[in-house]
Amino acid sequence: MPPDSWKDLENAIGYHFRNPDWLRQALTHRSHAEEAPAAGGDLDNEQMEFLGDAILGFVISASLVDRFPDYDEGRLSKLKAHLVSAAHLHPVAERLEIGRFLLLGKGEELSGGRSKKALLVDTLEALVAAIYRDGGMAEAHRFVRLWIMDSVNWAQPPAVDFKSELQELLQERRASPPRYHVVREQGPEHQKLFTIELKIGGEQVAQAEGSSKKAAEQAAAQIALSRLRESETA
């Protein structure tokens, strides 16, 4: 049975689980599952996070196409990138107080896991999957629209800072910081095109172009983020 406090989360999201095991799995960090007894122990939320990420991407993509039928692919992609970014999802997880409901192992608890940005974002994605598994796509869509889309100022959606997100992800993984190098400059002074190479720990991870060094660095960071996150689920 789930803790009574989880009713607060159900009340906040406006959805009550028919099978509370889905909610329990969504809120169970790997550190807790590893400490649980092998027989009958809890499942962690990593697969739920994988599924939730896919559902979130689909629901947001479909909603954006419906909301902005005249937008081209590039503009839609930028809006989607903002909506699925940790910078946008983290405040949502904080408003829901997701950290309060987590099942953590002792080590993760002591290291401040309840307030870690990446952990909270991952759990929010797992929660999307839990709602889908328990109530279907309509309920998952309602949750995403209410909590993740309706909080946006659609007239001026904020830009995604991919460089900051990459920095935070690497810090979470205790990895080397990213290094950006200009490898090529093309065109006249008033219309230059910069090519940036991004390395992590001496290894090239991404290369991208932009009309300024800053734009090229952001593009390279976006590519690196995508590749690093794909490697987590490979």
Fold of 162-233: Double Stranded RNA Binding Domain (3.30.160)
State what percent of residues in the chain have pLDDT above 90: 56
State yes or no: is 125 an active-site residue.
yes
pLDDT number for residue 104: 92
Q: Which of these is catalytic: 42, 44, 49, 53? A: 53
Q: What end-to-end distance do the CA atoms of the chain give, in Å? A: 33
Q: Which of these is catalytic: 49, 125, 165, 217? A: 125
Closest-CA residue to 165 (of 223, 98, 94): 223
pLDDT digits (tens, 9 = 90+) for 134-161: 999 999 999 999 999 987 777 666 667 8
Q: What angle do CA 124, 49, 205 make, to 5 degrees?
A: 105
AA letter at 36: A
Whether the predicted pLDDT of 5 surpasses 70: yes
Closest-CA residue to 168 (of 203, 99, 121, 210): 121
41: pLDDT confidence band, cut at 50, 70 and 90?
Answer: low
pLDDT number for residue 216: 92
In the chain, domain spans: 6-149, 162-233
- The top-level CATH class assigned to 6-149 is mainly alpha
Does the predicted TM-score (pTM) go above 0.85? Answer: no
Burial 92-106 (b: 16+ CB within 10 A, else e): bbeebebbebbbbbe
What gap in Å lies between CA 16 and CA 50, rounded to an integer?
22
State what percent of residues in the chain have pLDDT above 70: 92
